[in-house]
Every structure is written in structure tokens, then in C-alpha cells.
Amino acid sequence: MASHGLTDEEKLKATIFIEEVNKIRNVTPEAPISYTEAIKFLMARKFDEKRALNLYHLHEETRRKEGLKQIDFDNKFFQGELLVEKFTVLPTRDSTGAAIALFTARHHNPTVTTHQAVLQALVFQLDTALERYVSPYFGTYKLKWSFQVLMKKMRKIQYNVQQINQ
């Protein structure tokens, strides 16, 4: 991945972050963290290495706890989640650079799937969509969600979900 206009200080912080994460990964069967992935964690925390490492640890812990580290692509429930197209990340960004994700609730039927399959499909699609250099560089990781719900009084509910760096 190119440096995308990172300062020398940010490049140094990326190197330090990568070294710290790979110390942890070296005792596991996981591959070293990529530069691109490291930059995402750092950007999400305004290049504060300590906060980025904390985010990384929470990220890994959540993926382990929820069974999202290994996805069985042959699992019929996982495949069904992808085919029903209830979750879609649009290939374009909004005017602020935020990724746009659609969740169509009317396509969700919990009687024909599993909670883990829903999470795995969502995470797989988000990971795939956000593989590229994604976050607006200036501090806020943004993802605009549009929940499409069919109800008597509401046809479309839009939420703008933002995790503001504190």
C-alpha cells in the first residue's frame, strides 16, 4: 500500500504499531499484520498508537468471542446470508468519504439462519468492502447505514452511525 500522504511521524507510528502487533501474532498461527490493516487501526484512533493497539485487541477479542476468526465459506447458512442480500455495502462513498451500507430487515428471517452466520456474512462483506484505504484521514471513521424496514408507518429509517474518536 502506498503511504497516501502520511507524514514521516505517522509512518514511524505505523512501523511501531506493526512491530507491537506482530510480537503478539508471532506466538499464534496468524500471519503478520499488513501495512494497510495497521493504517486502518491507526487512522481510526488518529495515529495514537496506544489507543490503536487497544482497538486492535478489542477487535481480535470480539472476533474470537463471536466465532468470526475463521469463516466456513461452505456453510449453508453463511452462503444463504450472502445470497439473500440483506446486507450490502455500496461501491461508492458519500460526500464525506463514508462507506454506505444497507441492511434490509425484511430479508432477515431468523428461523432459517443462525446468529453466527448473520455476523459472519456481515463481517465478511464489511471486511471485503473496506479492504482498500477507507477511512477519512481526518479522524472520524464513518459508516453510513440505511436500514430499510417495511412497517405500517415507516418505510425507510436512516441512521448515520459514527464512532467518534475520543
Mean pLDDT of 92-110: 77
d(CA 39, CA 52): 9
Pairing assessment for the beta strands 99-104 and 157-163 based on DSSP bridges: unpaired
Strands in 33-93 per DSSP E = 87-93
Using an 8 Å Cβ cutoff, are 96 and 57 in contact? Answer: no
Q: Write out pLDDT tens, residues 26-57.
A: 998 889 999 988 988 898 888 999 999 999 99
Q: What is the pLDDT of residue 4?
A: 58
Nearest-Å Rg of the Cα atoms of the chain is 18
**Ranges 61-65, 68-72, 152-156: which has the least confidence:** 152-156
The reported pTM is: 0.68
Find cell 475520543 and name the residue. Answer: 166
Using an 8 Å Cβ cutoff, are 57 and 112 in contact? Answer: no
Q: With a cut of 70, say whether residue 154 has pLDDT above it.
A: no
Which has more pLDDT, 152 or 137?
137
Provide the 3-class DSSP secondary structure of residue 23: helix
